[in-house]
Chain A
Amino acid sequence: MSPIIGEVLAYAESNDLAHLIITMFFIIQVIITLPIRTEYGSENPAAMALSEKIGLGILVANLSQGGLILADVIDAPLLFGCLHLSIVIVLLYVYIVFYKKENAQWH
């Protein structure tokens, strides 16, 4: 949510469409990561396949956003780039440890 506020403020200041697109990018991330009351594990391959895709999508989104901030392409404090990359590391951990395990179960 925090990048949405930052980008909306940046758009209000500069009227640059890029900020609007980045806001859109994060709104989509908010939707895709909305918590839902479901429980599933490796016994439900369909749910696992879908959540794997969602996880990979969020990983790529944060990696690209973090990379662009750290490369100074996007005008945002470098700290936020580091935060995006730390989310990438967490997701990588989840991806490697959770999805590769046979009897994985989320609560």
Chain B
Amino acid sequence: MYPAFEILATIIAFTFVIIITYGVFTRQRDWFALGLCCFNIIPVAGELYNYSLDNKLLHVAIIMVFIPQIITTLPVKANYGSDNASAFALGRKIGLSVLVTNLLHGCLILGTALNVPRQFGYFHIVVALIMFYTIVKSNNKESIHWK
């Protein structure tokens, strides 16, 4: 990967992680979902670039993992809280899938030779931790409402 390309991607990824964190702590679903959705675009772009270089199935598989993630984290104008049990349960399922995706992908980047810079592995782990915090918080508090 070109150093300039890597630095730019790192800055963009870091910005999206900040947006996700801001969304979580201010309980603004739009910012949270937007950050997650845009963050998921980065691996797709990176793996498309890697696939154009070596034509390996591995990169297609990673793209396949992240495209459904982009779709499921698309921000929708739906306001709900723990009072809406159905929406809350569906939201939790989406959250769990984002957690597992980022945790596994982060571990794969850090633990194997995926040819992805290590800082992206840490970003994925941070996103997984944020999702874990959100899910645990949603289980503990009785009435939660996102804006």
State the A residues within 8 Å of B (CB): 16-18, 20-22, 24-25, 27-29, 31-32, 34, 36, 38-40, 44-47, 49-51, 53-54, 56-58, 60-61, 64-65, 68, 73-74
Contacts and interface: CB of A to CB of B under 8 A. Distances in A.
A32 B87 contact: no
Contact of B72 (A22, A40, A45, A54): A54
Interface in B51-109: 56-58, 60-62, 64-65, 67-69, 71-72, 74, 76-80, 84-87, 89-91, 93-94, 96-97, 100-101, 104-105, 108
Nearest to A52: B76
A32 B72 contact: yes
Given A28-B68, A31-B93, A31-B96, A49 B76 contact: yes
* 3 tightest Cβ-Cβ pairs between the two chains A and B: A46-B78, A21-B61, A57-B68
Which of B56, B72, B80, B93 is packed against the most chain A CB atoms within 10 Å?
Answer: B72
Interface residues of B, number: 37
Given A21-B58, A54-B94, A64 B67 contact: yes
Given A21-B61, A44-B84, A50-B94, A36 B89 contact: yes
A65 B72 CA distance: 17
Contacts of B74: 53
Chain B contact surface mostly:
helix
Most buried by B among A34, A36, A44, A47: A47
Contact of B57 (A51, A54, A73): A73
A18 B108 contact: no
B86 A44 contact: yes
A53 B72 contact: yes
